[in-house]
Amino acid sequence: LHYTWIDIGTPNVSFLVALDVGSDLLWVPCDCVQCAPLSASYYSSLDRDLSEYRPSGSSSSRHVPCSHQLCESSLNCKSSTQQCPYTIDYYTENTSSSGLLVEDTLHLASVDDHKLNTSVQASVIIGCGMKQSGGYLDGVAPDGLMGLGPGEISVPSVLAKAGLIRNSFSMCFDDEDSGRIYFGDKGPPTQESTHFLPSDGK
């Protein structure tokens, strides 16, 4: 897995999320019942503690009701106004995340004409991950996971639907396996491209 820092909420709080192209939901540890340790002393590669998201501490946080079109667990709700629950079982055995869906602000750096510009705030659906299991308890994704799949609830899909980007993203890595993730079809100034040729080569 690769990881990136993202900022969520108002005031914004930073989270070190794992990047996963095989799932859709962005979730972070939140009002934890069963979460991985967040202390830096537990992880050899961290120099600061990880964060726990608290919807009550963000002025831009809103509950996602069961009536919301992106609530896939609405059949488990007792009423349409109830906060939408979620449970995701991942391919790794006994690894899951569950909690409640919220809507909050994701802070992104804008790139315009290959120059770093102002910050962009986008409203996205976030999993308030109250309970994790399996590898997520062992530190595989202690501070959350950003699903980058094609589902409507994924960050690239939500950003595209809001008209902020083209519905695409790219990840660029250097020889030391670090790099950046770019949402949309604008990449770094050093990005190169090649033309596709028809099957007949002309």
pTM confidence score: 0.83
Calculate Rg over the CA atoms of the chain.
18
The per-residue pLDDT for 191 is: 64
Residue of higher predicted confidence among 95 and 201: 95
> Does residue 100 surpass a pLDDT of 70?
yes
Q: Which of 23-37, 59-73, 89-103, 181-195 has the lowest mean pLDDT?
A: 181-195
Domain for residue 51, yes or no?
yes
Residue range 143-193, pLDDT digits in tens: 999 998 889 999 888 888 887 777 667 767 766 767 777 776 665 566 666
Domain for residue 101, yes or no?
yes
Domain for residue 122, yes or no?
yes
Q: What is the DSSP string of the chain?
A: -EEEEEEETTTTEEEEEEEETT---EEEEEEEEE-----GGG-TT-SS----B-GGG-TT-EE-BTTSTT-TTGGG-SSTTSBPEEEEE-SSTT-EEEEEEEEEEEEEEEEETTEEEEEEEEEEEEEEEEEEEGGGTTTSSTT-EEE-SSSTTSHHHHHHHTTSS-S-EEEEE-TTS-EEEEESS---TT--------TT--
Query: Where does the pLDDT of residue 139 fall: very low under 50, low under 70, confident under 90, or very high at 90 and above?
Result: confident
> Domain count of the chain?
1
Q: Is the peptide bond before 150 cis (omega within 30 degrees of 0)?
A: no
The boundaries of the domain holding residue 116 are 2-183
Six token digits for residue 160:
């595209």
Domain for residue 195, yes or no?
no
Domain for residue 153, yes or no?
yes
Percent of the chain with pLDDT over 70: 83
Domain for residue 11, yes or no?
yes
CA-nearest of 142, 162, 141 to 152 is 162
d(C-alpha 15, C-alpha 125), whole Å: 15
CATH code of the domain covering residue 176: 2.40.70.10
d(C-alpha 91, C-alpha 95), whole Å: 7
> Does residue 44 surpass a pLDDT of 70?
yes
d(C-alpha 52, C-alpha 172), whole Å: 28
Domain for residue 98, yes or no?
yes
Could you tell me if 59 and 184 are in contact, meaning their C-beta atoms sit under 8 angstroms apart? no
Could you tell me if 156 and 38 are in contact, meaning their C-beta atoms sit under 8 angstroms apart? no
Q: Which of 19-28, 29-38, 166-175 has the lowest mean pLDDT?
A: 166-175
Q: What is the mean pLDDT of the chain?
A: 86
d(C-alpha 125, C-alpha 104), whole Å: 7
Domain for residue 198, yes or no?
no
C-beta atoms surrounding 48 within 10 Å: 9
